[in-house]
Amino acid sequence: MMENNNENYGKANTENLSYEDLLLEIQKLEFATVDLNLFLDTHPDNQMALNDYNMYTVELSKLKKEYRLRFGPFANFGSAPSKYPWQWVESPWPWEV
Amino acid sequence: MRYREDNIMDDNVMDNNIMNEQLLGTEESRLPKVIVVDQPYTDKFPLDEALKKGTLFPNLYDPYMVGKKY
């Protein structure tokens, strides 16, 4: 029914993505990794699921780093040091995205 | 001595019956049981589709539909 779709993560060029598109890519990867997290909690020895989890996690880290470099901190605390002045308040409100 | 052994056996049978009743309930009052089928790792939705559907796994995708028989 469905092909095993790994979407070639890690190979796509994400540097030219807009703010909204980059955020959407991050949201997609965060969703996939948390769903794999739940699967792996009950199937810790499933090598295929673990491979997918690791692949998505590497890509997620990459995209979050890119987000930080281009748009500032990804979360309000704990994700990255802030430049002066406090950067978090410069990022758009959720309804502005 | 024989009598005593029978008694012990009866006690064990009775203990088992009580245990079964506690585990399974009686004919009159069955306790609820949960059966979870193991989820096989087969395929995945493309990630944009997964985000919209609320699951990465096609074998878990079963949204409530009006009129659908469950």
Percent of chain B predicted with pLDDT > 90: 41
Alpha-carbon gap, residue A25 to B19, rounded angstroms: 54
C-beta of residue A74 within 8 angstroms of C-beta of residue A25 = no
- With contact defined as beta carbons under 8 Å apart, do B39 and B60 qualify? yes
Which tens digits make up the pLDDT trace of A39-81? Answer: 999 999 999 999 999 999 999 999 999 999 998 898 899 988 9
- Strand, coil or helix: B57: coil
Number of CB atoms found within 10 A of residue A22's CB: 19
How close does chain A come to B58, measured CA to CA in Å?
8
Instruction: Report ipTM for this prediction.
Output: 0.79
Q: What is the pLDDT of residue B31?
A: 82
Q: Would you kindly state where each structural domain of chain B is located, as residue ranges?
A: 1-34, 35-65
Summarised one tens digit per residue, pLDDT across range A45-55 is 999 999 999 99
Which residues on B lie below 8 Å from A7 (Cβ)? 46-47
> Measured between CA atoms, how close is B60 to chain A, in angstroms?
11
Residue type, B46: P
Contact B56 A36 (CB under 8 A): yes
Q: What is the mean pLDDT of chain A?
A: 88
**CA A43 distance to own-chain centroid:** 23
Give chain A's end-to-end CA distance (angstroms, integer): 35
